[in-house]
Amino acid sequence: MNAPMNTPVTAPPAHPLARCVMVLGTTSGAGKSWLTTALCRYYSNLGLKVAPFKAQNMSNNARVVAAPTLATASAALPPEGAHPALGRPGGGVAGIEGAWGEIGSAQYFQALAARAVPEVRMNPLLLKPEADTRSQVVLMGQVSAELTALPWRGRSQLVWPQIAAALDALRAENDVVVIEGAGSPAETNLHASDIVNMRVARHAGARCLLVTDIDRGGAFAHLYGTWALLPEDERALIHGFVLNKFRGDASLLAPAPQHLQERTGVPTVATIPMQWHHGLPEEDGVFDMTPTLGTGVSSLPPEGALAARGGPSPLNRPHTTPGAVHTTVAVVAYPRISNLDEFQPLKNVPGLRLQWVRSPADVAGLRPTDWIVLPGSKATAADLAWLRAQGLDQSIAAHAGQGGTVLGVCGGLQMLGEALIDPEGIDGNAPGLGLLPLVTVFEPAKTVQRTSAAFGQLTGAWAPLSGVAACGYEIHHGQTAQHPAMAAKGDVAREVMPGIAWQNPAGNVLGVYLHGLFEDAAVLHALFGAQAPTLDTVFDGLADGVARHFDPGVLDALIA
C-alpha cells in the first residue's frame, strides 16, 4: 500500500479547536446536505471562519479542488481576489505538483457557502460507484487502487487516521466546522466499522442535529427509532430533531413533538416547510419538476428498470422556467451518470425546458434547435452499451442527422467518437456513436485538474461560444484525439479548444472534456443571453430559511 495511507497528515493541534455542529439523518435524502450548506452560510454570516466536513461521501458527482499537503496548505491558497473555487487558472495551485484532487460536489458547494476555499480535507474519502458492488476509492483527493481492491469493512481502520487528522486540522484553523453524516447513524450492521457518523461525532465532540423527511411519512418513528438504536453515550450528542419538507398546518403536529421529547429528552427544534426550486445543485439522483427542500432529487431507477416500459419514462418530467419555451435541453440519464449537478444553472434560464431522458420516446418530437446532451459517466463503455440497448443511439443519430444540436461532456464526448480503446482494462472497449471522427484511449493515469481556456472559432449552433473564455474542471481517464484513418480520408474534427473540445464539420455536434460550462456566466450569456442567479444568492436564501424556521437561539447555542 502507499506509505502515506496510515500516516496522519498533521500533528495534533496545540490550541483550542473549532466548535463542531453535525447534521445526521434518519435516512438518505432526509436533507443533510442542504441543511449543512445552509448552516455553513448561516455561521459564516455571523463573521465566523467556517469549514464543512464529510468524512466519507459516496457519489459520482465530484469537483476538482486544491489538494496541497498540509505542510504547504497555507502557501497553496489561490491569490487574493481569485474565485475561491478556481485557484490559479490553467495549472496547479501555487506550482505544487499534484495539487488537484477530487471531493464530493456537496462539500464543494458547502465550502463556497462557508466562504472557504474548497479542498480535499473537507471530504477526505470519496467513493465513486462503478457498479452495484464496486466503487473507486479516492483518499485525500487521489485515487487509491489498493483501497479500491479492499472489502468495505477492511478499509475503515486504514483510512480513519487520515480522516481524523483532516478533521483535526480543519478544527485547528476554523471557528466552526459543520459536519455532514451519511445515510443513517443507526445502521447496526455498519456501526462497528463506522467512519462517517457517530465515530466522527465522538471524535469531534459534535453537537448533532437529526433531520428527517416528514413528507415520506413515519417521521416521528424514524426519529425515535434512530435515537433508540444508538448507544447511550452517542444519544447524548443529539441536541435537536429537525422535521424537513413539511406541508400543511404545523399546529397539527402536536402533541407528537412533546411526546417525542418526553421519551428521548431531545426537543424538536425546527419544522422546515416544503420548498420548490431552492437553487442548490443536486448531489445525487436526477431532478424532476418538483425538487424539494433537501436534496430535490428523484433517484435513478436500477439499470434496465425502464427498458420494458412503453412511452415516456417517469424521469421525463421537464423543468421549465417562466416565459415562452424557446429551447428544450434533453439530458440522457444513463445508469452511471456523473457530475449531473453541473446542469443546475440551466434550470434558471428563462424559456428553457430541461428534462432527463431514458428512452427514445423521451426525445421524440425534439426540434433541430433543441439539444440532446450526453453527460459524464463513471462507466463510459457500460453506459454506452445501455444507451444502445434502449435504442437511444438511433434517436441521437437521427437528431444529429437532421441538423439537431448535440453536446457531449467528458464521457459523453468519448461516446460521440468512433471508438473507445482500453488496453489497460480501465473502462472497456466499445464502438462509439460515430458523430465525431475521434478515438479515445483509456490510460491508468487520471486527469484531474481545473482548466481555463478560450474557445476558438465555432460554427453553427455553437458559434456564439467563439472566443469565449471558460473556466471548469476535468476528471477523466481517457485521452481523445483525431481518428487518423478518418483524417486521411478528409473527415476531420475541428479542434476548437486544444485537447479539450471538438466540433463536427456541420457545426451541430460539440464534444468537450470541460465540466462546469454552464456554471460559467460568460458561457450562459453567450448561449442564452441569460444571467442565472448567483450561488451567493442561493446560499443566503438557505441561511435566511434556517434562521426563520429554527427555534430562536438554537443555532447560536449549538456553538456556544
522 phi, psi to nearest 5 deg: -65, -40
331 phi, psi to nearest 5 deg: -100, 125
CB 283 within 8 A of CB 61: yes
DSSP E strand stretches across 217-350: 238-246, 268-273, 319-320, 327-332, 337-338
Q: What is the CB neighbour count within 10 angstroms for residue 37?
A: 31
Q: How many residues does the chain have?
A: 560
Residues annotated as catalytic are 410, 515
Exposed e or buried b per residue across 416-452, where buried means at least 16 C-beta atoms within 10 angstroms of its C-beta: bbbebebeeebbeebebbbbbbbbbbbeeebbbebbb
**CB burial class (10 A; 0-12, 13-18, 19+) of residue 97?**
exposed
* Residue entry with cell 469549514: 51
* Residue entry with cell 495534533: 12
Helices (H), 174-280: 198-204, 219-229, 232-235, 256-264
- State which amino acid sits at residue 148: T
What CA–CA distances, in Å, run from 273 to 60, 260, 542, 550, 556?
29, 20, 12, 11, 21
What's the sign of the alpha-carbon dihedral 163, 165, 169, 171?
positive
- What's the rounded Cα separation, in Å, for the pair 19 and 170? 11
- What's the rounded Cα separation, in Å, for the pair 473 and 475? 7
For residue 438, the SS3 value is strand
- State which amino acid sits at residue 406: V
Q: What is the CB neighbour count within 10 angstroms for residue 495?
A: 15
Quote the cell numbers at residue 331: 439530458
- State which amino acid sits at residue 420: L
Angle (deg, nearest 10), helices 219-229 and 256-264? 0
**Number of helical H runs and strand E runs in the chain:** 16, 26
